[in-house]
Amino acid sequence: MTGKCKATVVVALALMLLWGGLALAGTQETLQQADAAYAQRAQAAQAQRAVELYGQALAADPKCLAAAWKLSRAWYWVGSHTPEDKALEPFEKAVEAGKKAVAIDPESIQAHFWLGVAYGSYGKAKGIMKSLSLVDPIKEEMALVIKKDPKFEAGGAYRVLGRLYF
């Protein structure tokens, strides 16, 4: 390799490292903005902004676990505060984000919890008879959460199972 070629490779690697660092910093900044919006989720516009920002962070870094599970949680919130006849779509998006989170890290307690919650909400919005196929996946997700930490989200997995059995 000639001196000019080595210099080009070094510059290219430096630019790639710089770009990667900037992308990571941008993702972290976007997550912080999304978290701030989610903290004000009682205002519908802020809940929607959180969804958009978590989605942007996940698009920028498709392996960002926090963006994926928080996107699932945010879509769940939006669906829970949407008229019943329009809640199916947000819950479906919560399921999609939850599945991405589990795919990113199959050991993530947050990913399994919010996927299970999303399955339950999606099933309820879809209708009991049409969603019977979701019973076992909900049980599996909550069993994983309970196994890892029965106190997670103040025993949230037990509450999800209680609603399911009710």
Tell me the three state secondary structure of residue 151. coil
Closest CA to 53 of 38, 34, 72, 35: 34
Task: Give the per-residue SS3 of 79-137.
Answer: HHCCCHHHCHHHHHHHHHHHHHHHHHCCCCHHHHHHHHHHHHHHHHHHCCHHHHHHHHH
pTM over the 0.85 mark: no
Token pair recorded at residue 38: 């989610």
Q: d(Cα 126, Cα 76) in Å, to the nearest integer?
A: 14
Percent of the chain with pLDDT over 90: 73
Percent of the chain with pLDDT over 70: 85
- The pLDDT tens digits of the residues spanning 9-65 come to 454 444 444 444 444 557 899 999 999 999 999 999 999 999 999 999 999 999 999
